[in-house]
Amino acid sequence: MGDPREPCDLPAHEIAARLASGEGSAGQVVESSLARIEAVDGRVRSFLAVTAEQARQRAAEVDRRRVAGETLSAVAGIPLALKDVLATRGIPTTCGSQILRGYVPPYDCTAWARLQAAGSVLVGKTNCDEFAMGSSTENSSFHPTHNPWDLDAVPGGSSGGSAAAVASGQAVWALGTDTGGSVRQPAALCGVVGMKPTYGLVSRYGLIAFASSLDHVGTFTRTVRDAATLLSAIGGHDPRDATSLPGPPPDLAATLEEGVRGLRIGVLEEGFGEGVEPGVRDRIGEAVDRLAALGAEIGEATLPHAGYTLSAYYLIAPAEASSNLARYDGVRYGHRADDPRDVVDMMTRTRGEGFGDEVKRRIMIGTYALSAGYYDAYYGQAQKVRTLIIRDYEEAFGSFDLLLSPTSPTTAFRLGERTDDPMAMYLSDVFTIPANLAGVPAISVPCGVDERGLPVGLQLTGKVLDEATVLRAAHAFEQDLGWTTRPPLLEAAAG
């Protein structure tokens, strides 16, 4: 392609422009991605399944169509990875769980179906915390994923496999899911762009549910422009999802260049409290100064009930999980215990053998919260807190166009550091959970590195269905910062 960089390391929009001009082919781009998987995934371990032959076939088809004179989508021929909670027809979908080991769905999730129809090329399914329950991708029942910036550190979670795949060039972009921060937090820890849209903008059909009122399909990309392109390609109404919002997919790239001059950005005071590492605090402070220099109007903002969000989330999400995961009983699909004595023994042993510790913990919490005599005291109260959080956002957006905070209070922590301390693990998502409770759009964009050379993520949160403003501000910041730093893993390989 006339560039010293490998094709798999280019942003998607650059690849698309080159392919459209006849410079290179989709087959070459896909081979670059597959070669990178072969070279580094033994150490990073992003993937649970690599779909090399299918990817080659789809790339060849894209190239044939282009040679025939077809005008193709901006996603055509671009290597994509999918978190393994997104159903793919004919390709195993395990949710990182032994209970679904070997399960092959007979249908595609809507997000992948739309990308597939537009010519996107799937290179594999990525590792994740089991049923998306975790913040480090250590709860996968298959293996942990490693952070390309430090192979002894976590990539974040639960979509850590997708984040690490994009950061290490194994995929140009990827889809994940975000229930309490599971796109934005790993994006921050891996130094890529992670976008969670408004609840309902992207169909959840074919997303194997964790917590239905909180689950969002989100994107991992190298640039904000790519996030706008990918999100536009998967968004829009889907009649198969009752929570899908009406209307066609938005053209989110149309207003990217409008800048931040005149935008009112509220810096959340909760984002600078106890537990925020100095390196994170410093980079976020510099980001605020940079946005002010670009013409944004900066002020102080607060979500008065933010201190209750973690407690509310860890009642609502487990309650919905206990209901959603009741279907895994050994009767219909997935794992079934051998030689059960009776149906009770079969269900008990199937679930005991198939689910990991964190999933069992959340099922028990959720079942307790929904049980007779405790529903109002726990689940009902948590839903009232959720309403208060929604009102906090509405009030804050009366004064500001966007809210700003760190994505995560820390950079990537060591593998094994928090596995025995669930509360420390849960605190990784303290800044991302509020947006899930309220269903508002939010993005994490790299804003530098800490003293250990690990990426820091800046989070910008917007009003319902105002993805355009979120992306516009993130793009302006990204362009001004000029983030080009690559993980040491790739620099060593290049050297």
Active-site amino acid positions: 83, 158, 182
Task: Count Cβ atoms below 10 Å from residue 101 Cβ, excluding itself.
Answer: 15
**Residues in CB range of 318: below 8 A, 6 or more apart:** 211, 362, 363, 365, 366, 369
> Which two structure tokens, joined as six digits, stand for 84?
């393994």
d(CA 462, CA 21): 36
Contact 153, 188 (CB under 8 A): no
d(CA 353, CA 373): 30
> Which two structure tokens, joined as six digits, stand for 309?
């969000």
DSSP secondary structure, 233-296, as one string = HHBS--TT-TTPPSSPPP-TTTTGGG-STT-EEEEEGGGGSTT--HHHHHHHHHHHHHHHHTT-
Residue 82's SS3 state is strand
Tokens 């999980």 belong to which residue? Answer: 321
> Which two structure tokens, joined as six digits, stand for 156?
């974040």
Element (H, E) at 387: helix 381-396
